[in-house]
Amino acid sequence: MTAEMSPIDKAKFVAAKRASDLVETGMRIGLGTGSTAAWLVRCLGERVRDQGLRIRAVATSTRTAALAREVGIDVIALDEAGWLDLTIDGADEFDGDLNLIKGGGGALLQEKIVATASDRMVVIADAGKEVEKLGAFPLPVEVIPFGWKATQKMIEEMLVSMDVLGRKTSLRMDQDAPFVTDEGNRILDLHLNRIGNARQLALALNQVPGVVENGLFIDICDAVVIGHGDGRVDLRDINAGTVEHDRLDLGESDNLFSDLAD
């Protein structure tokens, strides 16, 4: 299987594999949404099957929940879990302070709730997701359907006073219809190119009427696991100030992963 994977898929796989080693029996785990998080769910499912790992997981989307159940992970609601030991999720971008842009998969609201209800958040990503300044990836903002065009206009007016290079905004579509989140909301993507002050922007966005949440994750991530296409993987812990280097074997895996490299 790994022989057929692209270098980016290999990088995502080794990052997820390394991060799965952080999970211990008895933990309550938050599971993210997106392509890299899907690798993690498969890796944890492999440990459940082969090593008898026993965990309870809170999923950040219906599709992550379905995949987790499929591979044998016990999925529970966040209200049942109460609090989580660890959340592992992907990111669309991360900077040197481990601030993130998330929401490319459309699950930013549940992802932020789950991440902040955890003792620790770890991001898994390929090396291409690291940036000097956030903003090249469009920033998702979840808004309620009522009056979304008015909300969009208010956001565009607010951006005039922000330290950003672009101010274009667009409604995310799902083919010919607006994309709908698990909470029944819409997503506006902000094409900012570069965000000078992410903390200021995050606070300002959440003051706009109609905005539910934004995809800037500030001071939430504790560590990042960065995968490379040749099997190298780095674990950077911002709290401990440490960086660990490793290399994982990209040997053949079984059909738990057969549909993820398509």
- Nearest alpha-carbon partner for 172 in 192, 152, 197, 198: 152
Catalytic residue flag (residue 244): no
Residue 60 counted as an annotated binding residue: no
User: What CA–CA distance (Å, rounded) separates 96 from 174?
Assistant: 33
Residue 25 buriedness (CB in 10 A; 0-12 / 13-18 / 19+): exposed
- Nearest alpha-carbon partner for 112 in 55, 61, 69, 156: 61
For helices 35-51 and 7-20, give the axis angle rounded to 10 degrees. 50
- Residue 142 tokens read as 């979840």
Catalytic residue (one of 4, 70, 93, 111) = 111
Residue 25 counted as an annotated binding residue: no
Residue 91 counted as an annotated binding residue: yes
User: What CA–CA distance (Å, rounded) separates 241 from 261?
Assistant: 33
Beta-carbon contacts of 161 under 8 Å, excluding residues fewer than 6 positions away, are: none
Residue 102 counted as an annotated binding residue: yes
Contacts of residues 66-72 at CB distance under 8 Å and 24 or more positions apart, as own/partner, are: 67/38, 67/41, 67/42, 68/31, 68/41, 68/44, 70/45, 71/41, 71/42, 71/44, 71/45, 71/46, 71/256, 72/45, 72/48
Residue 89 counted as an annotated binding residue: yes
Q: Checking DSSP bridges between strand 121-126 and strand 173-174, what pairing results, if any?
A: unpaired
Residue 105 counted as an annotated binding residue: yes
Residue 128 counted as an annotated binding residue: no
DSSP assignment letter at 220: -
Name the CA radius of gyration of the chain, rounded. 18
Residue 133 counted as an annotated binding residue: no
Residue 258 counted as an annotated binding residue: no
Residues making up the binding site for substrate: 33-36, 89-92, 102-105, 129
Active site residues: 111
Q: Residues at the annotated binding site?
A: 33-36, 89-92, 102-105, 129
